Structure 1
Amino acid sequence: MSDTIKKKISIGVEDFKRIIDKNGYFVDKTLMIQKLIESEAMVTLFTRPRRFGKTLNQFMIRRFFEDEITEKGEKVDNGYLFDGLKITECGEEIMKHSQQYPVIFLTLKSAKQPTYELAYAELKKRIYEEFDRHQYVLGKGVLSKTEELRFQEILSLKAEEDLYTDALGFLSKCLFKYHGKNTIILIDEYDVPLENAYFEGFYDKMIKFIRSLFESALKTNPYLEKSVITGCLRISKESIFTGLNNLETDSVLHTRYGDSFGFTQEEVEELLAYYGLSEQLEEVKQWYDGYLFNHFEIYNPWSLLKYVNDRKDHVTEFALPYWSNTSSNSIVREMVGEADEDAKRDLETLINGGTIEKQVHEDITYGDIHQTQDNLWNFLFFTGYLKKVGERKDGNNLQLQMKIPNIEIATIYENSISYWFDQRMKKTDRSPLKHALEEGDCEAAADFINRQLADTISFYDYAENFYHGFMAGLLVNIGGYSVKSNRESGNGRPDIVMQTANIRKGRVIILELKIAGSIAEMEAACDRGLAQIEEQHYAEPFTTEGYPEVKKYALSFYKKECMVKKAE
């Protein structure tokens, strides 16, 4: 197929109708609609990580069910949007529900604001937009005068708060009077205002509003047909879904809709083949695969589409960590920053490809997240930063074996650890290390380095790259010196060179790093490093340049131990 007529990849487009109308590439998830119709649950809450297609699926559900009416009262036919899609093969019992119900579609993501007043104002606007979209019910003689006045008051954006908390239930009633059918209520990103409110300090106010909003829409609403709610985290029933007995939660831990969010192996292979990128399957698998929802192997859809879009247009020839630019990565940074000794060991295990075991539970509130380290592990699992590789029951508790899903997520951990280390070094007085190296005090230099090693989080499994990055970070902006890594010098490359700007009265310090296989081998490793400095003539360019003093050190490392030895 010619490139000019291939479907476009709609990056960031979440409206199903727009993707179909613009001939965009669509991965068919319509069979989840059949499951929703056949489900006994009145309210289904889907929790999945960010950028996993939740909003797109909500738009798809809306376009299938909605009996859409324009401002002029004319019916909109959206049936063509599903031509050729899997749902149309499910038979009359399913297709008879197409375009048959009024739909309320509410997204709460704009409530990410610094104050309750601003967040509440955004929520009012979103409610207003749904009332505005359904204004066709006014002036038709189906609503009472009181109901019309109440409708108009909500449209004014000046109504009291209780009218907005009851708004979804009230709008359902108005729509029932016009359509003669119960309403389908779709709520997207339901947890964004709660997560934001927790971090901004007005959690109690926001949860009170959201709880009341949900009660009117989902608990005490006789005009509700079905509801689908999407978010990243399940907020515990006691906190927000109080008394909602008809709720079914579908999460990454327990799911009947394993293939409905994210891309399956088959869908990825089809996508890559369509754009002539089948040879990149292994790279894609290493970078963006790794999730297991029920028995389905799932890829991150956002990153995969970004990757394919860039590769097909030759914007890049490599896989990149696209998810690292999405929101909520701060939780990893926070986890690293707050890690105690046990958590640091767990992080080291994870980042070096290992597995940890933690108790996991779905009922959690944002207020619980920081109460224990285990709650943070819960958060990382449900938001996609860890994947399940096994599970077992320990009494009444569920224990999960978890690891980092793929290279993309591993880079987020590594970047978070590097950021944490850089921030810590800015606050650490490193003058004792500088003075020790200037004075030739190997014991003091080693003591300082060992204290920092004991408190850091290692990755690359103690490979040379880790120690090189660690020492470069320890010495950056140390004062009085420019620090260069792997600078060409003599016949080879010294690992690190510290160099004063002044030459005649200046100083150069050369550091050669070696890894030992055991504690017993550390001194021999230092001797190899010192011999290399001499054999490779690392000091020669600096003495030739006119530096009167060139100090030469070898540093050997074994796990979190360092030995420092100087050339005599």
Structure 2
Amino acid sequence: MSDNKFKRLPYGTEEFSVLRKEDYYYIDKSLYIKNVFENSASVILFTRPRRFGKTLLMDMFSSFLAIAEDGSDNREYKEKLFEGLEILKDKEFTDKYLGQFPVIFISLKSAYGETFEQAYDALARVVVSLFSSYDFLLNSKNLSKDEIENYSKYLNREFLCDINSMGYVKEALKFLSTCLYKHYKKKVIILIDEYDVPLAKASEKGYHNEMVTLISQFFDFMKITPNNNSTEYPIKKIVLTGCLKVAKNSIFTGVNNLYVNTILSESPSFDSMIGFTKEETVQILKDYDLDDYFPFVKENYDGYRFNKKEMFCPWVLVSFIKDAIEKKSQNIKVNA
């Protein structure tokens, strides 16, 4: 049996544009862009188990919303990227949101170490990489000389990784969002993936208190979101994802208009946003000629329920399909 007739499985990549451009199998979650960004909360935190597709979801948000470097909406490219997906059928929303916002997309999955000093260094490197993505701001006519001089410091890895420069790291997201707002004259959307990794790793390694202080101040910009209607406030919305709610510390103390959605939240608006529903699981098995294996998949890989939805882990399911296709192509019995 050849697998040439099947679309490539989304195995090992979390980049939305790669999945779409290279015609990987993709389950359409695009309508959730509207659910999230028309939600009235200024700050939204989604917590789900590992390997459920949180990063891919955030990358889809960024791909849809992000303004081009030259200030255009890059509409032709984005419509091609989202071609055939449900969100483009909503013309009113698409006209209002497609390519309309400066987007800061940062992942904290590598911001950890054996010691606090190593973890700080890792976070500083993440910040340098982030600022490098927007280095065109160094030539912005809308930023002051002092702001451009300050910005250049964020591109200096040696300077920023020095723990004495911690103040700059703490102010990084606040400063970058202000620069982008001034440059484009449009409010900024901030996407923070794996927000809880630095804290979880710090708890394991014994420097939790120091990391709580650092991350709390790194997220300090979120505490002024009640002024969201102000023309001077640079941020439109902040979305975070992670595995843990992190209830035992104060990193969100003072953050008003915060909405937290967990697997226990009774919200049909988001319950099937991350992960595969039973119906989606049945469909992907059918699309790979594995219909008969749903009872096996349900028996062995079921066990998640988000609100009232029966959910399956995408990574586990895709791994099973990949293994099953390989075995069937070699006429090897699939364990079932």
| Same fold, judged at TM 0.5 (above) | yes
Matched residues in 1 for 2:36 and 2:274: separation? Answer: 14
Which secondary structure state, in structure 1, belongs to the residue aligned with residue 110 of structure 2?
helix
User: Are the equivalent residues in 1 in contact too, given 2:115–2:207 (CA < 8 A)?
Assistant: yes
Which secondary structure state, in structure 2, belongs to the residue aligned with residue 254 of structure 1?
coil
Matched residues in 2 for 1:200 and 1:145: separation? Answer: 42
Which secondary structure state, in structure 1, belongs to the residue aligned with residue 98 of structure 2?
coil
For residues 250-300 of structure 1, what are the alpha-carbon distances to aligned partners after superposition, in whole Å with 9 as ceiling and x for unaligned? 000114311101101111111011110001010011111221112211111
1:245 equivalent in alignment to 2:256: yes
- Cα distance change of structure 1 residues 83 and 224 upon mapping to structure 2, 3 Å threshold: same
1:301 equivalent in alignment to 2:321: no
Which residue of structure 1 lines up, in the alignment, with residue 171 of structure 2? 166
Q: Equivalent of 1:254, from 240, 265, 279?
A: 265
Which residue of structure 1 lines up, in the alignment, with residue 246 of structure 2? 235
Amino acid at match of 1:220: I
Which residues in structure 2 correspond to 1:9-20 (within 5 Å)?
9-20=9-20
Which secondary structure state, in structure 1, belongs to the residue aligned with residue 139 of structure 2?
coil
For residues 289-347 of structure 1, what are the alpha-carbon distances to aligned partners after superposition, in whole Å with 9 as ceiling and x for unaligned? 22111221111111001001111121774459xxxxxxxxxxxxxxxxxxxxxxxxxxx
Which residue of structure 2 lines up, in the alignment, with residue 215 of structure 1? 220
Matched residues in 1 for 2:276 and 2:261: separation? Answer: 17
Give, in angstroms, the shift of residue 238 of structure 1.
5.2
Q: Equivalent of 1:225, from 229, 236, 246?
A: 236
Which residue of structure 2 lines up, in the alignment, with residue 204 of structure 1? 209
User: Are the equivalent residues in 2 in contact too, given 1:108–1:189 (CA < 8 A)?
Assistant: yes
1:155 equivalent in alignment to 2:168: no
Which residue of structure 1 lines up, in the alignment, with residue 141 of structure 2? 141
User: Are the equivalent residues in 2 in contact too, given 1:284–1:319 (CA < 8 A)?
Assistant: no
Matched residues in 2 for 1:138 and 1:75: separation? Answer: 21
Give, in angstroms, the shift of residue 118 of structure 1.
1.4
Which secondary structure state, in structure 2, belongs to the residue aligned with residue 40 of structure 1?
coil
User: Are the equivalent residues in 1 in contact too, given 2:73–2:100 (CA < 8 A)?
Assistant: no
Which secondary structure state, in structure 2, belongs to the residue aligned with residue 4 of structure 1?
coil
Which residue of structure 1 lines up, in the alignment, with residue 24 of structure 2? 24
Q: Equivalent of 2:277, from 245, 264, 267?
A: 264
User: Are the equivalent residues in 2 in contact too, given 1:37–1:94 (CA < 8 A)?
Assistant: no
1:280 equivalent in alignment to 2:293: yes
Give, in angstroms, the shift of residue 74 of structure 1.
8.1
- Cα distance change of structure 1 residues 120 and 293 upon mapping to structure 2, 3 Å threshold: same
- Cα distance change of structure 1 residues 144 and 121 upon mapping to structure 2, 3 Å threshold: same
Amino acid at match of 1:227: I
User: Are the equivalent residues in 1 in contact too, given 2:109–2:195 (CA < 8 A)?
Assistant: yes
Structure showing the higher strand proportion among its residues: 1
User: Are the equivalent residues in 2 in contact too, given 1:34–1:90 (CA < 8 A)?
Assistant: no
Give, in angstroms, the shift of residue 93 of structure 1.
3.0
Give, in angstroms, the shift of residue 140 of structure 1.
2.6
Give, in angstroms, the shift of residue 94 of structure 1.
4.4
Which secondary structure state, in structure 2, belongs to the residue aligned with residue 259 of structure 1?
coil
Which residues in structure 2 correspond to 1:121-136 (within 5 Å)?
121-136=121-136
Give, in angstroms, the shift of residue 116 of structure 1.
1.2
Which residue of structure 2 lines up, in the alignment, with residue 310 of structure 1? 323
Unaligned runs of 5+ in 1: 321-568
Which residue of structure 2 lines up, in the alignment, with residue 185 of structure 1? 190
Give, in angstroms, the shift of residue 91 of structure 1.
3.2
Matched residues in 1 for 2:65 and 2:299: separation? Answer: 38
Which secondary structure state, in structure 2, belongs to the residue aligned with residue 281 of structure 1?
helix
Unaligned runs of 5+ in 2: 226-232
Matched residues in 2 for 1:312 and 1:272: separation? Answer: 11
Give, in angstroms, the shift of residue 95 of structure 1.
4.2
Could you state the TM-score of these two structures normalised by the residue count of structure 2? 0.89
Which secondary structure state, in structure 2, belongs to the residue aligned with residue 220 of structure 1?
helix
User: Are the equivalent residues in 1 in contact too, given 2:171–2:218 (CA < 8 A)?
Assistant: yes
Give, in angstroms, the shift of residue 237 of structure 1.
7.6
Matched residues in 1 for 2:68 and 2:205: separation? Answer: 38
Give, in angstroms, the shift of residue 141 of structure 1.
1.3
User: Are the equivalent residues in 1 in contact too, given 2:50–2:243 (CA < 8 A)?
Assistant: yes
For residues 147-170 of structure 1, what are the alpha-carbon distances to aligned partners after superposition, in whole Å with 9 as ceiling and x for unaligned? 001100111121411111111011
Matched residues in 2 for 1:102 and 1:319: separation? Answer: 48
Taking CA–CA contacts closer than 8 Å with sequence separation of 6 or more, which of the two structures ends up with the larger relative contact order? Answer: 2
Amino acid at match of 1:182: K
Matched residues in 2 for 1:49 and 1:318: separation? Answer: 27
Give, in angstroms, the shift of residue 75 of structure 1.
7.0
Matched residues in 1 for 2:235 and 2:335: separation? Answer: 45
Which residues in structure 2 correspond to 1:26-105 (within 5 Å)?
26-69=26-69, 77-105=77-105
Larger radius of gyration: 1
User: Are the equivalent residues in 2 in contact too, given 1:88–1:95 (CA < 8 A)?
Assistant: no
- Cα distance change of structure 1 residues 191 and 319 upon mapping to structure 2, 3 Å threshold: farther
Amino acid at match of 1:279: D
User: Are the equivalent residues in 1 in contact too, given 2:304–2:311 (CA < 8 A)?
Assistant: yes
Which residue of structure 1 lines up, in the alignment, with residue 107 of structure 2? 107
Which residues in structure 2 correspond to 1:330-349 (within 5 Å)?
none
